[in-house]
Amino acid sequence: MMRITFNGEQVNFAINHRIPQKYWNAKLSKSSKGYEGSKELNRFLQDLQFRAFDAFTTLEREEDDFTAKRIHDVMNGIGVESSRYILDLWKEQVQDVKSRVGKNIAHTTYKKYITSQRLFTSFLLNTYNIRDLRISNLKKHHIESYYTYLIREREVSHNYAIKHLYIFKTLVIKAIDNGWLKTNPYYRFSMAKRPVEREFLSMDEINRIAELKISILRLNKVRDIFLFACFTGLAFVDVQNLKRSEILQSPDGTWWIKTLRQKTKIRSTIPILNLPMTIINKHADLDTLLPEENIFSVSSSQKVNSYLKEIADLAGIHKNLTFHIARHTFATTVTLQNGIPIESVSKMLGHTSIKTTQHYAKVLDSKLKEDMARLKF
């Protein structure tokens, strides 16, 4: 039972939780540690107290005269248009994204929403010492404080912070569309990302990895799929999910990869060069694989990236070698540096526009020298 007392008026209402009397601390209005569900119950009670106080402060600001019954109604969303709470919206949004995984949303996107939800919850607790916030009370200073929290407390990059601010913005737009939020807290808040210097490997570094004598099976396997990605441009999840049905041979004998990118659902069409074809044949028997069977058996991205660090050390490469560098390498060293038109590279990468491909493009000194050598003055 919870009781709200205001101006001499009391409202009692059930909270649908029971606890043996011996575990109840009446003085502190909380359960003692001996009770098995003590932590969860006390957190639930704290949330109720917060909502009651939040309802009270909102009514103080918005109404001249109100009662204990009115506080009860507002904290429970009765008779109030803007009584939605941000963490409730988060739960709904995450659940919606989860229901669309495998349809029009990748599992990695769902994981990003989970991470973003945790970050925002942590932000409220650490910055304002509150567990939730009424959506109607969300202001621009909250957005600015969230950005500051991510940069200073979480020590993330500007672009990483902006990515999570974009995710949170989807909740804000939903709240505005439903009339729960009257003004846009993102108004005149800059969401521009900063240019990032994308790492890639030179042909010399690719060769050093390819020519390594590796006796450890797990490193050998990871080296193969990394080189495969360097010469096909496929992202990690697309290599992981590559199926036999997506490896096709044209009448002239050319082998092709024709697959939908997991991230964008855009078709990638990639002719298979000799090295990646050799790697396919090393790890799969195309004649016996069923259409829906995977070409490669790939570990998690965390393990693969950890193994790539070992490979970089063995090859004497002083770069933060991650699997995504393979995609950058394909776009720069393997294709653009060798004169492949950016339109063709874009199609192979499965990009929706040339602008996206231009982020990967690097004009290397060696290519500049080669191009300028054509001038005859």
pLDDT in tens, 140-163: 999 999 999 999 999 999 999 999
Give the C-alpha separation, 108 to 56, whole Å: 40
Domain ends where: 55, 75, 95?
A: 75
Lowest mean pLDDT among 32-46, 277-291, 336-350: 32-46
The pLDDT of residue 79: 66
> What does each C-alpha distance from 152 to 35, 139, 296 come to in angstroms?
38, 20, 41
Whether 208 is in a domain gets the answer yes
Same domain as 98, residue 58: no
Residue 290: HSE in the Cβ half-sphere, 13 Å Cα cutoff: 2
Same domain as 297, residue 231: yes
How many domains does the structure of the chain reveal? 3
Domain ends where: 75, 96, 116?
A: 75
Whether 147 is in a domain gets the answer yes
Same domain as 211, residue 166: no
Same domain as 253, residue 357: yes
In contact, 244 and 295? CB cutoff 8 Å: yes
Q: Which of 4-18, 78-92, 151-165, 181-195 has the highest mean pLDDT?
A: 151-165
Average pLDDT of the segment spanning 267-277: 94
CA nearest 319: which of 189, 195, 231, 206? 206
Same domain as 124, residue 24: no
Whether 290 is in a domain gets the answer yes
Average pLDDT of the segment spanning 100-126: 91
Same domain as 112, residue 50: no
The pLDDT of residue 290: 96
Structure tokens at 190: 């800059």
Same domain as 142, residue 32: no
CA nearest 83: which of 92, 69, 93, 73? 73
Same domain as 241, residue 156: no
Using 50, 70 and 90 to split pLDDT, how confident is the model at 80?
low
Whether 193 is in a domain gets the answer no
The pLDDT of residue 363: 56
Whether 152 is in a domain gets the answer yes
Same domain as 207, residue 339: yes
Average pLDDT of the segment spanning 163-169: 97
Give the C-alpha separation, 114 to 17, whole Å: 28
Average pLDDT of the segment spanning 268-297: 95
Give the C-alpha separation, 130 to 54, whole Å: 10
Same domain as 297, residue 245: yes
Domain ends where: 75, 105, 123?
A: 75
Give the C-alpha separation, 351 to 345, whole Å: 9
CA nearest 238: which of 295, 313, 172? 295
Whether 188 is in a domain gets the answer no
Using 50, 70 and 90 to split pLDDT, how confident is the model at 41?
confident
The pLDDT of residue 13: 82
Same domain as 226, residue 297: yes
User: Which residue in the block uniquely carries the two structure tokens 């030179």?
Assistant: 202
The pLDDT of residue 377: 61
What pTM does this model have? 0.64
- Range of 33's domain? 2-75
Q: Where is pLDDT greater, at 44 or 140? A: 140
